[in-house]
Structures are given as C-alpha cells and as structure tokens.
Amino acid sequence: MSGYKGIIFDLDGVLCHTDEYHYLAWKALADKIGVPFDRQVNERLRGVSRMESLDIILERATRSYTDAEKAALATEKNEMYRGFLAKMTPDDLPTGVGETLATLRARGYRLAIGSSSRNTPLITERLGIVSAFDAVADGNEITHSKPDPEVFLLAAEKLRLAPADCLVVEDAESGVSAAIAGGFTAAGIGSAKDDPRVTYRLDALSDLTALLP
C-alpha cells in the first residue's frame, strides 16, 4: 500500500506522553487563577501553541487579562511543565517507540518530527531519541502553529521530500487539519484515531511496521 518515502511524527501524544504533563501544568495554573478547566477543554489544546492554549483556557475566565499578564501566566505554566520534563529519562519513552523508529528507518524511510512545541529539543534529548530522526521541525522555527501546515511543510522540506511522499502521524484534530492542509496523508493515533479524515487508524505506533513495507 505504501509509496511513502518519509514519515513525519508529531511529538506530544504520538512519540511520548508529555500531553499528561501539559494537562497537569495547565490544570494547576487554571486552579490557581480560578478558571474552570477539565480534560474535555484540554483536548482542544492538543497541537496548538502555548499562547493559543492559554487563550482557550481563558475563554472561561470572568475577567480579561492584559498581554503582559498572559505572558506571565504562560511562562509560569511552562516552568511547571519543564519541571516535569527535567525528570524524564529514556525509560519514559513508551514501549515499542524506539524499536518502531529503528525498524522504519532500516526499511529506508526518512523520519522527521513535526511538533508545535518549543520544548522539542529538551524532550528529545531527555528521551534519548535525537539520533533517531533525519530532521526536526518545531515550534521554535514557525510563525503559525497547527492547524496551519507550516511545521509539517518545514519538516518535509528538511527531509527534501514532497508532502505527497510523506505520511504524518498525529494525535490531534489540529494536527490532522495541518497535515491535510499541507497535502500530506494522515495517520491518527490516540485522540485522532477516530478522526474521519485520517487514512490510517493506529492503536499503537508499532502498527506502522505492519502497514508500511
């Protein structure tokens, strides 16, 4: 079935479980400022940038916040989040992820990360997966985060491949939108598994080794 030359992986929620750390840090911040926040709202934060995530949380606030206040809140959340990241080790890489990446690369696929996160370098370093990829495109290099296709287009460019030759693996509605807007085929996992727009539905990342020859 596969004519793909490259695979672009979302990071948070696809390669690792940092999505839970995002939730815990946003939840602590929301509780502190008295804004209701739950896992349902949290689903809308998948794949979108830090400041856009804060704007979604503050939709339920009873007062408005200045840009300076919002910047301070985002910094506070990020410091809490980075506290979780600092404790991660290669043992936090979910079972089968390292083997799946190695198998796909051995089959000749070029592998990239396409993540909205500005913390991508820290996460990949903590998990020991820097050398598993041919290219990384992340939130530090883009002006428009998912659902804009910019980060995936940059990843494909770094792989020197056309979007039509790449499969994007995503856990977020915003990420699937970004992939499709960029002309990529999408595989959905986790929260995006049942997204009607994905071509492949994955129960685990290792399913890719059965799908891709």
List of residues contacting ligand B16 (CB under 6 A): 10-13, 22, 45-50, 53, 78, 115-119, 139, 172
Catalytic residue positions? 10, 12
The residue among 100 and 117 lying less far from ligand B16, judged by its C-beta, is 117
Question: What is the total residue count of the chain?
Answer: 213
Contact yes or no for 21/126 (Cβ under 8 A): no
The 45-84 contact track toward Mg ion, x by CB under 5 A, reads --x-------------------------------------
How far apart (Å, rounded) are the C-alpha atoms in residues 56 and 8? 27
CB of 93 vs ligand B16, minimal distance in Å: 15
How far apart (Å, rounded) are the C-alpha atoms in residues 51 and 148? 15
Rg, the chain, Cα only: 17
Out of 4, 6, 7, 13, the residue judged to bind Mg ion by CB under 5 A:
13
The residue among 6 and 114 lying less far from Mg ion, judged by its C-beta, is 114
The residue among 48 and 168 lying less far from ligand B16, judged by its C-beta, is 48
